[in-house]
Amino acid sequence: MYIFEHAEDRNNLEKLTLAVLSHLPTAVLYVHDLSGECGTSPSDQFVIYKEIRERFSNHLWLDVVSKCDLLSDSPVFFITEDSNADDIELAKYRRMGPDGALRASVKTELGIDELKSRVHELLVTQLARIKNSNSNEDSLEVPR
């Protein structure tokens, strides 16, 4: 099941996430778990990610590959997946996540300081966007 296919199949968290992304000035911190431990296969995560990324492409975005300490050179496949069916983009995603993604591990603390710094930068940039948007809206108001 992918997040945009059937609105009636979405859980409350998915509904809330889509509402927030659709209606509030938000930045996105997207966490990818390619370890196979989250219950969603990397190939399903890839499809969901692409759908959300395309739909909300105007948002500021930070991709994080979590549990990178568990990732080896060989990508994770669920028993229901066919590794031969992967296209080049999916095969690359299974190994590294999306281009430019930060790799982090809470267990080993790898990438955590950079993650904190990048989240701070993301929030500062988003706040500036919001302030700029508000000042532009104020200048468009008709005086009474």
With H, G, I as helix, E, B as strand and everything else as coil, classify residue 85.
helix
Q: Give the whole-angstrom CA distance, residue 5 versus residue 7.
A: 7
- The domain locations on the chain are 25-134
Looking only at the bridges linking them, the beta strands covering 28-33 and 102-103 are: unpaired
Distance of alpha carbon 39 from alpha carbon 107, whole angstroms: 19
User: Does the 25-134 domain belong in CATH 3.40.50.300?
Assistant: yes
- Those residues of the chain that have pLDDT short of 50 are 1-2, 78-79
What is the reported pLDDT for 53? 92
Nearest to 57 by CA among 65, 68, 49: 49
Q: What pLDDT score does 78 carry?
A: 45
Query: For residue 47, what are the contacts with CB-CB under 8 A and spacing of at least 6?
Result: 2
pLDDT of residue 82: 55
Q: Please choose, from the candidates 116, 115, 77, 73, the residue with its C-alpha nearest in 3D space to the C-alpha of residue 95.
A: 73
Q: What pLDDT sits at residue 126?
A: 94
